Amino acid sequence: MLLDHTIMTFLIPLLLGWLLDLLLGDPIYLPHPVVYMGRWISFWEHHTNHGKYKKTKGACFAVTSIVLIFVLAWGVKLWLTDDEKIYILISTVFVFFSLAGHTLRKEVKLVFEALDESLDKGRKQVARIVGRDTKMLSRQEVCTAALETLAENLSDGIIAPLLWYLALGLPGMLTYKMINTMDSMIAYRTDRFKNYGCWAAHIDDIANYIPARITALLIVICGYIYYKVNHLNTSYTLSQLAKFVCHYGNNHLSPNSGWPEAALAGILSCRFGGTHSYFGEDCYKPFIGNNPRVLTLKDMHTSIKVCFRVELITIISVFILTLFIYHF
């Protein structure tokens, strides 16, 4: 009976939510929980990020937001314990909104398609998915930005939410989304955010530490298998790819983002990183990889196929681990 209950309230919402994301992405006509998280963050940042004690105020805000969303989500779970159908429905909706695989792949494709029309259109399209200033990016920098985002958000937008769902169920997934949304909005090294957002950044670093490295490992494995199955030439053996990721994984301002980016750069045998501008301020990022070759449409298609395989393996693994844990 315990296994039946687990399948009903844990695995069915996960499967249905993932399938909805796979088919629909993020419908712009539906209210999105992350949008409301963003409004919450923007409101309190606007009213508290000034004057003295910015770091303290930012820390209090970050911790309060995390505790609040977890308590609310757990409270709903307890409230609906005896009403499985309603809880499954609500869980399915929130799992659907917490995953970003479909939209991520779509947006990266749109960047390359826009770039085929003109550099200006490519810059405008990539601005939808990156935080850096894009008005002066070269064609190569637009491609690099899109693929870096694909790798980083494979971890942040898909693998990490799934792993936190495995660990703590829907409350864990939603709490992670709050952490990641704070990181994307206030965890910048600019004068405005460097003190206020430092706690949000550190908490996000902790929440993503394991998911980022698991993502990198899966990119390496899936990418290597993809090249071998399709009889494509690869610049590295599997062990060389692992060494490449370990060497370049820390070549990033973030302790986590560099790992999936290094994995994808190794698979493509290309170079990511370099200096970028955020809110008008230059921010140097070390290079990841040492092959500054021109990125092409083929690289985009390869990256998307590899990343989707990583997502699929993660979903299957979460199912198997859940059944194993509850069965034994």
Q: What is the mean pLDDT of residues 161-174?
A: 97
Residue range 231-262, pLDDT digits in tens: 888 878 899 999 999 999 998 888 999 999 99
pLDDT, the chain, mean: 92
> Is the model's pLDDT at 68 over the cut of 60?
yes
Q: What is the pLDDT of residue 232?
A: 82
> Is the model's pLDDT at 80 over the cut of 90?
no
Q: For residue 10, which amino acid is it?
A: F
Q: What is the pLDDT of residue 280?
A: 65
The pTM of this model reads 0.93
Q: For residue 256, which amino acid is it?
A: N
Instruction: Let me know: does 315 contact 11? Beta carbons within 8 Å.
Output: no
Strand partners, 281: 278
Residue range 182-199, pLDDT digits in tens: 998 998 877 888 899 999
The residue among 136 and 120 whose pLDDT is bigger is 120
Q: For residue 321, which amino acid is it?
A: L
**What's the token pair of residue 205?**
């670093």
Give the helix ranges, DSSP H, for the chain: 2-6, 12-24, 33-48, 54-79, 84-98, 101-117, 119-126, 139-154, 160-186, 198-229, 238-248, 258-268, 297-327
Q: What is the mean pLDDT of residues 38-62?
A: 94
Q: Is the dihedral of CA 232, 238, 240, 245 positive or negative?
A: positive
